[in-house]
Each structure stands twice: as C-alpha cells, then as structure tokens.
Structure 1
C-alpha cells in the first residue's frame, strides 16, 4: 500500500509541474537580464513547491489565474513556438522522404512570403503579424562511434582494447564482475 501512495504523490507532483510549466513558459531570451530570468524561475518553483505541499493553495491559484489572464497571448505564443520546434525536430529526425525535395522547396518559398499551406489535420504555424524565414538545409546526422564505416579499420586486438576501455570508462571492471559472481554463488547456498 505504501507504493501506491508514493505513486499517487509522484503523479500529483508531475501533474502540477506540467500544469505550471504550460502556464509559466517564458524563456531566458524573454528577459533583459539573467538575474530577472533566475528570479522568475525561483518564483515559479516556489509556487510549484507550495502547490505540491498544499501550502496556501487558494492564494497561489488566484495568482496563477491572474497571470493567465494578463499573459494569455504570450502563453499561446510560447505554446505555438514549442509546437513548431517539436515539429521541426521531428521532421529533422526523420529526414526528407523520397521526392520530398520539390515539396520542401515550395513550402519554404510559400512560408517566406507569408502563406502557409499544409495537409488537412497537420500543424501549420500562423504567420499573422510576422514573417520568419525557415532554415532550408538539413543538419547532418551524427554518426555513432565504431559504426559500420569504422569496422574495417580495427583488428581484433584493437576491438578488445576498445571494449575493455569502454567498460572501464563506465565504471565496470573484470574484478568487480568476478566478485559479484562469487557473492551471488555463495549467497545462494543454504546451510
């Protein structure tokens, strides 16, 4: 039963943090100085903590409602900016589809003149009030170390050395593995 109550507390904290994060969503570039941004973050964290702990909830809820009312446009702009960044990141992670280069060029040209077109049901950012150029190129995807292009260059000894060094870098050692195996073996003996 303790686990269930701990899970409920954790779920409550996550729900409160998500709610507060969706309302108080300013970024560092929205402030003239780092000090003001840090003060803002501290105030938001204090409110979050008090809501989680149940301290002066009615006053904090009133403060949140007032902030939402005064900053409704800014909150919506930040949500749209976040959605646009997520959509761009998703598109960048997938890479261009075959035959998509012509469609990308047409979309890029139309977005720079202020006309946004898209398939029905897909997110299309609003350009009312401003026109922002979009990046045209795709960033190169990182290549994992020891990937398929590097397999032909290492001999067997070099591969063993790399595996051993990689394990040690992660805190693993052969002695630790042997010690654990012995402890587990002798720990299973019942006398």
Structure 2
C-alpha cells in the first residue's frame, strides 16, 4: 500500500510539473539546451518526491509560472489543439470542418486520397495529423504510455511466452503442487 501511495504521489507531482514546465525541443535553439532543461525538470521532480528542499523548489516553480505565464498557456493551448485534431482524426473527420473523410474518395490537392496520411505541404495544403488516440486513452502529461489491466496482462503473457513459459505450463504446475500436498 505504501508503494501505491508513493507512486500516486510521484505521478501527481509529475503531472503538475509537466503542466508548468511544458516546453518542447523545438522551443530551444540546440539539443543541449533542451536536454539541460529536461534534466533540471527531472531533478526538481525527484527532489519533490523525496522531500528534498521543497520550499526552495516550490518558490522556483511559482517564479517560473509568473515569468512564463503566457508561454505556459500557449503550450497548453497547443497541446489541447493537438488532442482535438488527433481525436477528430481518430474519428475520421477533418478537425477544421468536421467533414467525414472515411467515406469520401475526394483528394487533398489532387494528390492524396482523403482519409490517408498527407504530410504538411509548404504551399498551404491541408495537413492531416497523425492519430494519437482520444484524450486520456493511454498517455499521461509527459507523453509516457500508461496501461490498463488488460494490456498489462497481455504484455505479461507475451513476456512469459518469449521466455519459454505458457499459461498451460503454469496451470499444470499449480495443479501438480496442489495435488502433491494432499495426504491420503
């Protein structure tokens, strides 16, 4: 139970920090600057989870929020737009018009049939987003995938099969151990 509470605490902290420190790689002039930013954010998360220098970190977060409020809001709006576009794409609709493209055979700029992935065209063509799934369907705020119970079970079964085990083998062994313990 303690592990579950620690995990829940860490996830809550990660979600909160990710909503504030939400810059992307394209927001930086170099990969090194972006990696330094990610390292700083991760250090803050670890220190908050471990309870190290919490008042100082909280003060830094408040100051960062105050100084970068507009940028934070823009990044959150951009993320919301991406989720909306992905949701529309997963339903087979163009996000701007709401037109159903799954039944149409018209083309985008006479080159790519609608309903197919079309990369962004520099001349102002329509770009279809890659479907990421609806909001809340598998990714947390940092973009890490989380799994439901069924997915975890399937993953465990695949891992067991890869290691040479099978569910039948486990069942057989459990039955053998159960009957071996019966005294007649």
TM-score normalised by structure 1 residue count: 0.59
| Structure with more helix by fraction | 1
Aligned to 2:111: none
- Once residues 19 and 168 of structure 1 are traced to their aligned partners in structure 2, the CA distance between those partners, rounded to angstroms, is 34
Q: CA deviation at 1:46?
A: 0.4
> In the alignment, what sits opposite 1:56?
53
Q: Secondary structure at the match of 1:171?
A: helix
Distance 1:52 1:7 in 2: 13
**Is the contact made by 2:10 and 2:49 (CA closer than 8 Å) also made in structure 1?**
yes
User: SS in structure 2 opposite 1:188?
Assistant: helix
SS in 1 for 2:161: coil
Determine the C-alpha separation between the residues in 2 that align with 1:70 and 1:57: 20
Cα separation, partners in 2 of 1:46 and 1:58, compared to 1, 3 Å:
same
Deviation at 1:173, TM superposition (A): 8.5
Aligned length: 133
Deviation at 1:64, TM superposition (A): 0.5
Q: Which runs of 5+ in 2 are unaligned?
A: 102-122, 132-156
Residue 22 (str. 1) matches residue 12 (str. 2): no
TM-superposed CA distance for 1:56, in Å, is: 0.5
1:183 correspondence with 2:173: yes
Structure 1 gaps of 5+ residues are 105-132, 142-166
Higher relative contact order (CA 8 A, sep 6+): 2
Q: Runs of 4 or more off by more than 6 Å in structure 1? A: 100-104, 167-170
- Asked if structure 1 preserves the Cα contact closer than 8 Å seen for 2:93 and 2:100, the reply is no
Decide whether aligned partners of structure 1 residues 101 and 43 sit closer, same or farther in structure 2, where only a CA change above 3 A counts: closer
- Determine the C-alpha separation between the residues in 1 that align with 2:20 and 2:57: 13
Matched ranges for 1:108-123 at <5 A:
none
**Which residue number in structure 2 is paired with residue 7 of structure 1?**
4
